[in-house]
Amino acid sequence: MSDRLKAVVLAGGSGSRLWPLSRQQLPKQFLNLNGHESMLGATINRLSPLIERDNVWVVTGEKHATGEAFSELDGLNTMLEPCGRNTAPAVALSAALMQDLYDDDPIMVVLPADHIISKKDAFQACLQQAVEAAKAGRLVTFGIFPNQPETGFGYVQTEESVDGIHRVLRFVEKPNKEKAQKMLDDGNYYWNSGMFVWRASVILAEVEKYLPDVWAVLQDMRKRWNSGEVWQEVVRTRFDQMPDISIDYGVMERSEIVSLVSADIGWSDVGSWDAVHEIATNDTDGNEISGNVLAIDCKNSLFRSESRLIAAVGLDDMIVVETPDAILLAKAGESQRVRELVDSLKLGGEKYHIEHVTVRRPWGSYTVLGESGDGYQLKRITVLPGAKLSLQAHQHRSEHWVVVAGTATVTCGDLVKVVARNGSAYIPIGEVHRLENRGKVPVQLIEVQVGDYL
């Protein structure tokens, strides 16, 4: 048994309450909301020097690793989930992998990827406290002292601390306003941050005790990868048999060995646009303004523009977020309900909740230019130096490429040709083709698709 520290960063969420900026294919943990790095990057970096990147594992969905978030995950240790099953299976699987892959029993630090913590030194001090408690066989959670009767968080009731560590009495589900105020008045209640520290063997023992269905699938998976199968392939084929349950509900609320570290670390779960407004640097009128915004006589509002001008007059207590294909308008205090909008969009069959107008790919990006016409669609495509698209063919549309920057290498059937700026290439229906950038600068081109299926 060693005291080696390893971290597991949970990065599989959808971030639907931060729509329209957060989308299914690029959720909030991969976005830069208040600095110069993504939330995932900030989560990993604040662990240093206690835990360096080589000892951090990121648990996320397969779709993120091969989709728009690929650049954020490149070079990191990843465990890819083929489907979402909440946090208990992710935690149990991570602990088992750490034991079996490294022949070790490390202290695990489990963190969501989508939180903001402004006090790094205080966070590391709390982390060291939690590690010491974990060495003694405790399951440790980080508790945030509540400064208001918040109804969007779960709560943890504790006893008085011993050397800064509180014994947990019980977990409380998200309360109504009156109950939240009573807990605030009583004291010894903390917000449940969803951040944990424990030894791998200890959490696995509690999973075996309280979540036998998770344990049974996990043991089958371990038997297979310990017999020589590739562990990620085992996960891909068996993970969907795991039950959908959180580690809080499945283990923490039932375990008798849970402790809490009181954490004054400048924490926010950034769970809504109201939360973004709270942590922002506001102007003298209480406004948080980002992007192309002109606000006159507006107070206590958030205005965020990604592309177009937002012009506002006389607005108080508003949330306004603009992206190239959507605009969110909400009263301050109501932004938790954005999830209802996203649920409605899912039912409507549109793609507004799935992807942005500009979609990133490992080879570059593409941007849909305006609405599709009757039988045609326009895109702007960027191919990075040294990158190429897959060899493909379309049975229901032709494509016409006009290069506006760089030099493209175009494969069309048996013909391979170089197309410079202001040149073009035509791809007939059904023709096998590929676009490639063998140069040192990005290739940009306009693509016109014509056909009955775009």
Q: What is the pLDDT of residues 258-313, one digit of tens each?
A: 999 999 999 988 889 999 998 888 899 999 999 999 999 999 999 999 999 999 99
pLDDT confidence of residue 164: 75
The closest alpha carbon to 213, from 251, 169, 179, belongs to: 251
Instruction: Note the pLDDT tens digit of each residue in 125-143.
Output: 999 999 999 999 999 999 9
Between residues 110 and 104, the one the model is more confident about: 110
5-268 CATH: 3.90.550.10
Q: Show me where the domains of the chain are located.
A: 5-268, 273-342, 363-451
Distance, in Å, from the CA atom of 268 to the CA atom of 276, rounded to the nearest integer, reads 9
pLDDT confidence of residue 1: 57
pLDDT confidence of residue 220: 96
**Residue 435: count of CB within 10 angstroms of its CB:** 27
Q: Does residue 385 register a pLDDT over 90?
A: yes
The closest alpha carbon to 191, from 141, 156, 151, belongs to: 156
pLDDT confidence of residue 198: 97
pLDDT confidence of residue 35: 65
Distance, in Å, from the CA atom of 44 to the CA atom of 52, rounded to the nearest integer, reads 8
Instruction: Note the pLDDT tens digit of each residue in 156-207.
Output: 999 877 777 889 999 988 888 888 898 888 888 899 999 999 999 999 999 9
pLDDT confidence of residue 47: 95
Reported as a pLDDT band with limits 50, 70 and 90, residue 409 is very high
**61-65, 219-223, 249-253, 399-403, range with the lowest pLDDT:** 61-65
Distance, in Å, from the CA atom of 363 to the CA atom of 386, rounded to the nearest integer, reads 9
Asked: is 363-451 a CATH 2.60.120.10 domain? The reply is yes
Q: Does residue 34 register a pLDDT over 80?
A: no
Distance, in Å, from the CA atom of 375 to the CA atom of 449, rounded to the nearest integer, reads 8
Instruction: Note the pLDDT tens digit of each residue in 185-194.
Output: 888 889 999 9
Q: What is the mean pLDDT of the chain?
A: 92
Q: Does residue 328 register a pLDDT over 80?
A: yes
pLDDT confidence of residue 292: 96
